[in-house]
Amino acid sequence: MNKRILISIIILLIISDTLSILNGVSYINKLEVNFLQSSNMFPFISWQLLIFIGQVMAFYMIVRAIEEQTKRPIRRLTKQVNHFAKGEYSYLPKKEDAQEVQDLVLAIDSMVLNYYRTNRKLRYEKRKAESMLSYLEQGIIVIDATGTIIEINKFAKESLGITITEGNFVHSLYEHTAYQSMIKSTLDNETSSNCEILKDESTLYIKIKPLKKNSREYGYMLSIRDITHIRKFDEMRYQFVSNVTHELKTPLTSIQGFVETLQMGALEQPDVAKHFLEIIDIEAKRLGRLIEDILVLSDTENTRVADNELINLVEVVEEVIELLEQQARQKTILLKTIIVKGEILYCGDREHFKQILINLVSNGIRYTEKGRVEVIVDKEDDCILLKVKDTGVGIAPVHHEQIFERFYRVDKSRSRKSGGTGLGLSIVKHIVQMYQGDISLTSQVGKGTEFIIKLPISA
């Protein structure tokens, strides 16, 4: 209760009692009784004083009661607000007697409830956004207009190899010149920008763009993508196109040259013309094989293993041996089939396994001057073994790791002479990998080569 009100009440009581005493004295004077000199006047004054003190105490008690009644709801409201400030939203206010106080209590409680619901929703949205950012396969960094980091996800930290968190400047993330120029240009001109940087063995593509709200920029977002595999694929594609162009150009140039020679008069010389035509025929067939192998390789790389038929691998081997028998006989090479455990069934595409065996057996015939080529079919506990073994020229160990690469040749001149395209083993490897298999080789120069294919039975 306001102290000035209490003092005012006391003063009024004093004035009231003083006036009462004065009225009493005036009344006594009128009766011409000299009470002022009488000894009975003291009890009268004492009684009046006691009444005054009693009144003061009564009013004081009333004032204290009113004060306490007023302070109690205020203390409860203070307690409620303190609970609210601590994040405790389950506090229930008590019903108050005064309507004005009750209205205030309900207003505060409604405000607390609305704030709680809004805050809970914001926290949920924040957790959801943070969870989404953390699982993105892309780095995200949000900065304000000054370049201070507001948000950075896990992928961004891992890509840049940093431990920097919110509150640091974006300039300090990486010292690369292109990166620094991009950040400076964007913050100065408020425009989008991008760059590629090399980080260890990775290639990172970083893009920064302004964040706008109601046509006003309030920050920027950096996105970081690891494009290492894309750049490697681009390089592989470039090498493949370059190799294909070279391989196609070689026989075409040869054919074109001999045709021009024939047109310039060589047709008049039967022996020369016949020789040139034979060369043209060889180069045309080589060109056809190359195109066919490119198409097969493309089809293999873009094909997935589907629900295939159950095939008898022994029958496929016999079919391939019969197909290549004439080619082997022309070089007096013996083709031999060794079936270790009788009939062997496997779930797969018949044409795939036929392609594997044709490529390996024809390679064996091509690079074997005399001797034999063996096809061995066996079955172990958890896999099927296909082996193709020849007694040809062999492959030096230095070439073993690269032998399955496209267009790789141990001896380019020998390969062209024998009609190889450099794609056969690459095709075999891709087909084997389609069935989660493995291919390897053992070889000795001058003694021969053995290719070993392991195919899991569960494939």
Nearest CA-CA partner of 367 in 328, 398, 337, 406: 328
The C-alpha atoms of residue 303 and residue 297 are separated, in whole angstroms, by 10
The C-alpha atoms of residue 34 and residue 190 are separated, in whole angstroms, by 102
Contacts of 149 (CB under 8 A, 6+ apart): 141, 142, 143, 164, 165, 166, 167, 168, 169, 170
Contacts of 218 (CB under 8 A, 6+ apart): 144, 145, 211, 212
pLDDT of residue 33: 47
Question: Considering the entire predicted model, what is its pTM?
Answer: 0.51
pLDDT of residue 438: 92
Chunked in runs of 10, what are the mean pLDDT values of the chain (459 residues)? 54 58 50 48 64 74 72 74 70 62 74 79 76 74 85 81 76 81 85 86 88 76 87 77 72 82 81 84 79 75 66 89 88 87 81 88 88 90 89 87 78 57 82 89 90 83
